[in-house]
Structure 1
């Protein structure tokens, strides 16, 4: 008696087609550059939160780090001079240079320096700067860092920085600051526009122009 063939059983190990793969969905991110300082400031907090989350994930997985190179391999890194660079710490008598970089509130500088010291920053010996989380830092011989450029950093020239310091020194009284600089030939209307754009993020800003 001839044995009958076994019936085909779906899903068994008989060479049937596998189930179709699950379709993945991908979110989209807004990678557009901020059109002005106000828009850049609005993104600083979100970027800082993303950076901290990414750093924590890398630390937990043990990945993302490389051997530390540059000055951070030899000396501890120190934060930038707050009285010169941090917006809410700048004073009327803060030192001015031809180029002055302001750190906007909410920018995670301590997190950046921790990432650099953990080997997650890129050292560029040509410019003597570290790049981390989209920002660049220079390092002095003492280990003190200073901001160069990137999200959350704003570069001001000497006249723009002078206006900003006077606005801070006047405790947000824009009229008093304008009167103090009314006869200063080194200050232009463009300098006021730029400085006011930054000053809007200062703790003493009361509104107005």
Structure 2
């Protein structure tokens, strides 16, 4: 199985690579269109600021490539947010896969949210063998509101979408690569997803 982690200079790439290595998977880091299209599964990571990350995607031509991918794609943290229509962070236009606008947490809560939080209302094979109210590790100041594409929710001052899915695209706001055995199970579930598109 060929797994490609999109390497566009934004973030948590090495920790994802090490998490996959613990599962016996050797992932390839690449920003090459052909290599990405040939992958069985694609992971789209991201840590940092939305507008500068989107600029890096555009410089590599990946803003045109990612929305046309047909294999299972997993956006992690900022990667998930960039798959949405837009983000308030840096007034950024997203890739438009998920029909939701990413906004900042209200002033009533401390930002960023850093640490462990529970995920609920789990849907899809991505959460096979994951319990309701399982804890996941998060670091973020912006969030995707509840929407029809939500496959998991969390609560931090308000309830929000902590995972999204549309067709072959999946997104998780939390970091499975930093979320202990439950996070490893989610990565394993993603690797076992069947390509249907």
- TM class, shorter-length: under 0.3
Bigger Rg, structure 1 or 2: 1
Task: Considering fraction of residues, name the structure with more strand.
Answer: 2
Task: Considering fraction of residues, name the structure with more helix.
Answer: 1
The TM-score, its normalising length taken from structure 1, stands at 0.25
The TM-score, its normalising length taken from structure 2, stands at 0.26
